[in-house]
Structure 1
Amino acid sequence: MIYGNESISHYSRSNVSIWMTMAFQAGVLNIGGFMACHRFVSHVTGFATFFGYELNKEDSSHAIGMLIVPLFFLLGAMLSGVLVDIRLKQHKKPKYYIAFGVIFFLILIVLLGGVSGKLGVFGESVYSLGDYLLLVLLCFICGVQNGTITTVSKSVVRTTHLTGITTDLGIGLVRLINYKKIEGPLDNEKKATMMRVGIIFFFGLGSVVGGYAFNHLEYLGFIIPALTSGVLFLMMLYFQLFKRA
């Protein structure tokens, strides 16, 4: 993945390390969005739920916002499609470094905007335009991240939410338990199961670390995903542009 090759090994050490780092990063971003304005940002399900909730309140003005915000997750996924998926289908090298660069610079904007007071009061529910801007940015970031990893893993890996991964883990565990009844080797299933366990663990770890950081640092807690995304961006930039495989 780091070189942008089409023929990747799904469970190579470098790929797995990147996936775990991004799962950790997503856990931090998700808890950060929740603690900043009481909304989860790494999956669309919550916004659909809040849309129904807000629509049935006496003041339903926020319902439109809850409908619009997840569209930016979609736009982020579409951007990753332009940078990665379409290029792979055209047998061109995907531009991972641009996708990771977008994630890094948008997280920097969240960090600086939050610290400077442009993104609403930390810990306040969604009321102001700044709160919605925060949600839009975080959803877009998660859309880019999830779309990129989904493409490169051929829809095996999701790093921004755990529903699909947990479902796949349950199915995989049943396959391993009943390995004697299944024809063919299960080496890939074993690797996939360990990968899924790892993603769940690192997402949870990111939530724990992020929870502690945001509780003490508020918006400054976004320095954690800024560091992880910055390292990933520089790594992709180096390997894709300066050190050819």
Structure 2
Amino acid sequence: MLFGNESISEYTPTNVSIWMSMAFQAGLLNMGGFMACHRFVSHVTGFATFFGYEVNRADYKDAYGMLVVPLFFLIGCMLSAQLVDIRLKQHKRPKYYLSFGLIFLLVLGVLIAGLLGYFGTFGEPFFLLRDHVLLALLCLICGLQNATVTTVSKSVVRTTHLTGITTDLGIGLVRLINRKKLQEDMFKETRAIMMRTGIILFFFLGSLAGGYAFTHWHYGGFIIPALTSGSLFFLMYYFQVYRVRQQALKA
């Protein structure tokens, strides 16, 4: 992933470390969105639920907002697909560094805007346009992240929500339990089980860290995902751009 090769090894130590970091970050972002606006942001399902809830309350303004906000998750996925997936399909070097750079800039923007008071009081009741803007930005970040990792892992890994990962983990555990009946080599399945367990664990750890950070620092809690996304961006930039240029100069 760091080098932008088309033949991506799904379980290299580097890739697994990046996936765990992003699962940790997703847990943080989800907690931040929930504590700031009382809404989850890392998966679309909740917005469909809130839409039905607001319609039944005859609160059509918030209902329409709940339809618009998850579109930004879709936009984030599309941006990632343009930077990564399409380039892979064209046998070109995927621009992981741009995808991670956008994530970093968006998280940094949320952090700065929150600290400057543009999103109002942290944890206030959800009803203003600025709350919808914050949710939209967080959904955009999660869409970018989820689509990038989905492409890199060949649709094996999701880091922003746990439903699919938990489903795959359950299936994998049953396969492992019945390995004698299946008479198959379980090495790949065991490795996948460990990876999925790790993602679930790091998402929970991110949520725990977010609970502490946002309780004590409010919008300042976004400094943690800003640091993780910034570190990943500079790592990608170094390997995909800077080092490539240096090698070209030496050639």
Q: Name the TM tier (shorter chain).
A: over 0.9
How much has 1:217 moved relative to structure 2?
0.4
Matched, 1:44 2:48: no
Q: Residue deviations 1:194-238, cap 9 Å, x none?
A: 000000000000000000000000000000000000000000000
Q: Does 1:156 align with 2:188?
A: no
User: What residue ranges of structure 1 are gaps of 5+ in the alignment?
Assistant: none
8 Å Cα contact 1:77-1:147 kept in structure 2: yes
* Inter-partner Cα distance in structure 2 for 1:229 and 1:16: 15
User: Hey, what's the Cα distance between the residues in 1 that align with 2:120 and 2:64?
Assistant: 19
1:16-165 equivalences under 5 Å are 16-165=16-165
Q: Percent identity?
A: 69
- The code of the aligned residue for 2:83 comes to L
Report which stretch shifted further, 21-30 or 124-133: 124-133
CA distance in structure 2 between the partners assigned to 1:238 and 1:218 by the alignment = 32
Aligned-pair CA distance for 1:129: 1.5
Q: Structure 1, residues 63-89: CA drift from partner, whole Å, max 9, x if none? A: 000000000000000000000100001
In structure 2, stretches of 5+ residues that fail to align are none
CA contact (8 A) 1:120 1:128 kept: no
What amino acid is aligned across from residue 34 of structure 2 in structure 1?
F
| Secondary structure of residue in 1 paired with 2:158 | coil
Structure 1 position 242, deviation (Å): 1.8
Q: Which amino acid aligns with 2:219?
A: Y
Q: Which moved more, 1:181-190 or 1:40-49?
A: 181-190
Give secondary structure in 1 for the equivalent of 2:147.
helix
How far residue 181 of structure 1 moved from its aligned partner, in angstroms, is 1.4
Q: String of CA shifts for 1:115-157, please: whole Å, max 9, x gaps.
A: 1111132102321111111001000000000000001101000
Residue deviations 1:40-64 (CA, integer Å, cap 9, x gap): 0000000000000011113321000
Aligned counterpart, 2:8: 8
The letter for the 2-side match of 1:14 is T
Q: Tell me the alpha carbon deviations over residues 159-203 of structure 1, each in whole angstroms, 9 at most, x when there is no partner.
A: 000000000000000011111111431211111100000000000
Superposed, 1:205-216 pairs within 5 Å as 205-216=205-216
In 2: Cα distance, 1:210 partner to 1:47 partner: 21
| Residue of structure 2 equivalent to 1:230 | 230
Runs of 4+ in 1 over 4 A off after TM superposition: none
Q: Secondary structure at the match of 2:40?
A: coil
**Whole-Å separation in 2 of the counterparts to 1:49 and 1:2:** 38
- Aligned residue pair count: 245
CA contact (8 A) 1:73 1:141 kept: yes
Please, what TM-score do these two structures have when normalized by structure 1?
A: 0.98
What secondary structure, in the 3-state scheme, does the structure 1 residue paired with 2:6 have? coil
TM-score (norm 2): 0.96
Give 1:155's aligned amino acid.
Answer: S
For the residues of structure 2 that align with 1:125 and 1:27, how far apart are their CA atoms?
A: 22
- Structure 1: how far apart are the matches of 2:206 and 2:74? 23
Q: Which moved more, 1:124-133 or 1:19-28?
A: 124-133
In 1: Cα distance, 2:58 partner to 2:129 partner? 20
Instruction: Measure, in 1, the Cα distance between the counterparts of 2:23 and 2:107.
Output: 15
